[in-house]
């Protein structure tokens, strides 16, 4: 008992002597109006029914304590499947071993690609790519090591290595091992990305027998964000999805352009187009194509109105068609 009291008093003294700064607080709110038309629209399926919806409502904190960085986010978000409940979306404690190296425990985004590591409110298009949740969970929890090195000629190299829970949020015959490198080229605004992911995920077959498959995913891409232009292109390929021999590959590209209006009430607009080609079973005629065109109205540095039209322009024979969608969204992030 005396030992426990001594330990607690010692920890308390350390905290008192530490240079504690109040954490920064952020909020993000995204509110949607969705309208569908075409086959399967408003047929009783919630996903394809006209509605108003809270896309995201979140409050987050981040700060530093000596050599530790910490962050947490509490809220609701449809991308994690918990839109109807308040959940801990993100949480992390990272230790700065060196100016360029930190490691720790984290629940949050993983550097699987340019869009996968971006907060929803910071995307160019209205949502993350259609394939995102199939190629990797959005907010897994695990351990991560991050490095950042500045190089000559305005170059930089960022790496991330992480071991996370599998699709069922455990390490029981499943895992998610991700290795990524992001290179800032000598050309300002141009970045190159390479990712390799080893995954072991649990599935249920037609007889409801549980089994796991060893698989992999890899990705490579380029992104240019400068001179009012935003261009992203990535190619992904993977093996081991619902079958051990099932392979998928995806190519997507997006282009947006910032236009300054000179108006106080609407400083800028950003038209964009997004295209995605997703082969869900390579060699078995399972190709799907998606197209999105939209306009982001930047009403201030912290608020935006989004308008988007989304369409599945090709589906595989025997595949399920999706109705076209018109989206209107207002979002605020501070």
Could you give phi then psi for residue 56, rounded to 5 degrees?
-160, 140
Task: Pick the closest to residue 114 from 132, 100, 102, 126 (CA basis).
Answer: 132
pLDDT at 179 over 70: yes
The CA distance from 248 to 233, in Å, is 17
Could you give phi then psi for residue 12, rounded to 5 degrees?
-65, -40
Token couple for 218:
């890899």
Residues paired with 36 in a beta bridge? 325
Beta-strand ranges (E) seen in 38-110 are 51-65, 68-77, 87-98, 101-107
293-298 long-range Cβ contacts below 8 angstroms, 24+ apart: 294/125, 294/126, 294/327, 295/269, 295/270, 295/271, 296/124, 296/256, 296/269, 296/270, 296/271, 296/272, 297/266, 297/269, 298/266, 298/267, 298/268, 298/269, 298/270
**209-224: per-residue pLDDT in tens?**
656 678 899 999 999 9
Q: Which of 15-24, 43-52, 263-272 has the lowest mean pLDDT?
A: 15-24
The answer for 8, left when phi > 0, alpha when psi is -120 to 50, beta otherwise, is alpha
pLDDT at 101 over 60: yes
Per-residue pLDDT, 40 = 87
Mean pLDDT of 169-197: 93
**107-152: per-residue pLDDT in tens?**
999 999 999 889 999 999 999 999 998 898 888 999 999 999 999 9
**22-51: per-residue pLDDT in tens?**
889 999 999 999 999 988 899 888 889 999
Per-residue pLDDT, 125 = 97
- Within 8 A by CB and 6+ apart from 169, the residues are 140, 141
Report which listed range, 80-84, 165-169, 172-176, 255-259, is most confident: 255-259
Domains, the chain: 23-333 (2.40.160.10)
Task: Pick the closest to residue 250 from 122, 128, 78 (CA basis).
Answer: 128
pLDDT at 276 over 90: yes
Give the 3-state secondary structure of residue 3: helix
């Amino acid at each position: 008992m005396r030992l426990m009291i001594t330990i607690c008093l010692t920890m308390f003294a350390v905290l008192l002597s530490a240079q504690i700064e109040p954490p920064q607080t952020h909020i993000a709110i995204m509110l949607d109006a969705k309208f569908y038309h075409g086959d399967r629209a408003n047929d009783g399926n919630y996903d394809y029914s006209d509605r108003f919806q809270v896309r995201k409502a979140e409050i987050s904190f981040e700060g530093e304590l000596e050599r530790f960085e910490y962050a947490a986010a509490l809220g609701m978000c449809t991308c994690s499947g918990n839109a109807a409940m308040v959940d801990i979306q993100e949480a992390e404690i990272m230790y700065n071993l060196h100016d360029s190296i930190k490691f720790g425990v984290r629940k949050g985004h993983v550097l699987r690609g340019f869009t996968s590591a971006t907060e929803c409110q910071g995307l160019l298009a209205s949502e993350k790519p259609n394939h995102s949740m199939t190629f990797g969970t959005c907010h897994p929890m695990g351990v991560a090591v991050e490095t950042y090195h500045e190089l000559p000629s305005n170059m930089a190299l960022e790496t991330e290595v992480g071991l996370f829970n599998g699709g069922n949020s455990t390490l029981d015959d499943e895992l998610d091992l991700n290795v990524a490198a992001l290179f800032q080229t000598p050309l300002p605004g141009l970045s190159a990305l390479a990712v390799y992911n080893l995954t072991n995920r649990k599935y249920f077959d037609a007889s409801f027998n549980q089994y796991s498959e060893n698989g992999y995913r890899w990705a490579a891409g380029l992104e240019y964000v400068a001179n009012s232009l935003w261009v992203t292109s990535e190619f992904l390929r993977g093996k081991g999805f619902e079958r051990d021999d099932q392979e998928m590959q995806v190519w997507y590209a997006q282009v947006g352009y910032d236009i300054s209006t000179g108006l106080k009430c609407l400083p800028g607009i950003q038209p964009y187009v997004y295209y995605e080609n997703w082969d869900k079973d390579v060699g078995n005629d399972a190709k799907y194509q998606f197209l999105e065109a939209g306009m982001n109205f930047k009403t201030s540095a912290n608020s935006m109105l989004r308008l988007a039209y989304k369409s599945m322009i090709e589906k595989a024979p025997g595949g399920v068609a999706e109705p076209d969608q018109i989206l209107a969204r207002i979002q605020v992030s501070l």
